Amino acid sequence: MENLKSGKCPVMHGANSIYETSINKWWPKSLNLDILHQHDLKTNPYSNKFDYRETVKKLNYTSLENDMHDLMTDSQDWWPADWGHYGGLMIRMAWHAAGTYRTSDGRGGAGTGNLRFAPLNSWPDNTSLDKARRLLWPIKKKYGNKISWADLFILAGNIAYESMGLKTFGFSYGRPDIWHPEKDIYWGPEKEFMRPSEERYSNLEKPSTMEHPLAATHMGLIYVNPEGVNGSPDPLKTALHIRETFARMAMNDEETVALTAGGHTVGKAHGNVKVDLGPEPEAAGIHNQGFGWLNSSGSGVGKDAVTSGIEGAWTTNPTQWDNGYFKMLFDHEWELKKSPAGAWQWEPIEINEEDRPIDSTDPSIRKNPIMTDADMAMREDSIYKEISLKFKEDQEYFSDTFARAWFKLTHRDMGPKSRYIGPNFPTEDLIWQDPIPKGNSNYDVNTVRDQIKDLNLSIPDRVSLAWDSARTFRNSDLRGGANGSRIRLFPQKDWEANEPSRLSKTLSVLEPIANKNDVSIADVIVLAGNLAVEEAAKNAGVDINIPFFSGRGDATQEMTDINSFSNLEPMSDPFRNWVKDEYKSNNEEMLVDKSQLLGLTAHEMTVLVGGMRVLGANHLGNQDGILTDKVGVLTNDFFVNLIDMNNKWEIEGENKYNIVDRNTGVIKWTASSVDLVFGSNSILRSYSEVYAQDDNQEKFVSDFVSVWNKVMNLDRFDLK
């Protein structure tokens, strides 16, 4: 039998085993619940007993780091090192692993080792980084389970800088690997790399209009186009986009200048030949996959290597940590030129021969240094210029600022300092780490419980406060949560989502208990919420005790980075049936997004919503989704009444529905789209049906309590 298309015989092959096109592309738009179930045990080659963060503590750190130092100058013929030193390549790998981090949703960053997978391994900005990983393989092979790829990527950058003379600020181990690319990260609306920037801006002239949560000017770049906005050189215009993209990565102007200069103090750009790149790495033939973009011009390596298309080093001594970047930038005048590969770059109009860097492959040749449009922005923008000149005159200050910024860049998504592992992490408290004092755990919890019970606080008041305090947690970068009780501090205390007036009143009742018993208000908030849930469960005929772990601390205003915490402000809270405004994403999508950031599965999300509704925890007491006549009783009424076919749904207005008696037409309840999706979406309805069964009332209570307790303790890293 002949396959007419290929001329080859068919085989029994029923699986959709390739991603040539999306399997569901022809299907109606539906919620992507897959993001709630990624990284499960089926993708992980290790058993659930393997704990990398414990295993890495057994590593011989000194031996590993010595081997990493040796690697830097062990040039391989298949991918020779520039000037015999892999430092520039390894730094770029570490930078680009970490540089995907963005503050708005905490996603991206270096914490997962996702640089191994598409799409990141195929981004134009990440050309040849697969080769850096292959250079690291002998070390990974040697140390095996005791070192993750995620840690190795960042360690390689640190060691590279140290080997070239920089005193780094520190390094922490402890980044577990993932085993497939994340499905939850939105990289942009474009359908191909390097599309014009206008596709992600409302107004390209105003960089702040870039679509959130994005933090780069193009699909496939880390920050900005090195040739200028949309590839058109204009340093002042580029400066505005640099400021926005780095701010979205939690960097201020001084950190931005330090990182730009420090990244270009060493290494070089590659674009010495006309570009003839092959297909993107994942589309290459089997024999070429996993090498990064391949250039078929000449040898494709060494002098013929192509990365950005820009060609040249930035400093006279590209394998030394020094102040040469600023001297080169300010001591010369620059003009626009095209690289051999055809990319825009700036080159000096006049330069002494001894100031020109030696060619990376031929020590008998000197070549012009180069600057990108982003580099010229450090000279032309008035704010960046002032900072640059300060660094130019004080190399020690520049080195320290860079080292701290580099540490922040590479550790931003690791959570608090208490999670750091190894001998070389800094002990200094840094405000971007969201420091929290250690709380008192040596007190009689039952005494505090009894005092809370005596208060005149409703179940909805206590549940809402505890939830609002805990829901800020983001599993993406391990920020937020109930520990620290920052809900009582600016800016959180004034967030609309937190009902400031109600918040203030509830806190004023609970704070005296905290003071009287010398315990944190953070502990009291969570304990009050737990007691409210226990009381509601008892009202439903189920006696249950929620585990309580004391020891939370109370942060101060001085420990709180106001600008950084602003990114945690909820624009919606589907669990309390509230949305601040109308958004491009619908409410159901925002529900799934928030659930993913909290680390919830689909059935955990389902039971949590159903429980929150019957507890009466809606924002400002709105009645949407309160599908019960027994508010404050932890029943499964939400699910029972949602899927009862004696009821029908009618549209009342924008995101407003009535649930009416099918026979009489009498309105029984109102609901939002977030409520109804648990009865309409086929997957979510299947969970709702479980909780609506007559024999699952106790299961409902048990499952709700389990996920409630999970959310209350998401940030208790001391318990994990």
Catalytic residue annotation: 96
Separation of alpha carbons 345 and 376, rounded Å: 10
Q: Contact, 690 vs 641, CB < 8 A? A: no
Q: 281 by DSSP, 3-state: which?
A: helix
User: Cα torsion at 550, 475, 698, 638 (round to 10°)?
Assistant: 120
| Percentages of the chain per state (helix, strand, coil), in multiples of 5 | 45, 10, 50
Q: Over 200-229, what HEC string results?
A: HECCCCCHHHECCCCCCCCCCCCCCCCCCE
Close Cβ partners of 515 (under 8 Å, ≥ 6 residues apart): none
Q: Which helix (H) or strand (E) holds 445?
A: helix 445-453
Q: Contact, 416 vs 433, CB < 8 A? A: yes
Separation of alpha carbons 218 and 253, rounded Å: 21
- For residue 371, the cross-strand partners are 346
Q: 20 vs 24, 183, 277, 332, CA distance in Å? A: 12, 17, 21, 50
Q: 92 vs 87, 189, 281, 626, CA distance in Å? A: 9, 26, 18, 53
Separation of alpha carbons 617 and 469, rounded Å: 13
Q: Over 35-61, what HEC string results?
A: HHCCCCCCCCCCCCCCCHHHHHHHCCH
- Extract the tokens encoding 21: 């096109």
Separation of alpha carbons 715 and 566, rounded Å: 18
Separation of alpha carbons 344 and 338, rounded Å: 5
Question: Judging by beta carbons within 10 Å of its beta carbon (0-12, 13-18, 19+), is residue 458 exposed, middle or buried?
Answer: middle
DSSP label at residue 628: -
Cis amide leading into 119 (omega within 30): yes
The 10 Å Cβ neighbour count of residue 277 is: 17
Q: Contact, 307 vs 128, CB < 8 A? A: yes
Close Cβ partners of 67 (under 8 Å, ≥ 6 residues apart): 139, 142
Name which of 35, 39, 30, 182 is nearest 685 in CA terms.
Answer: 30
Using the CB atoms, write b or e for 36-75: b if 16+ within 10 Å: beeeeeeeeeeeeeeebeebbeebebeebbebbeebbeee
Q: 178 by DSSP, 3-state: which?
A: coil
Separation of alpha carbons 369 and 103, rounded Å: 34
Q: 334 by DSSP, 3-state: which?
A: strand
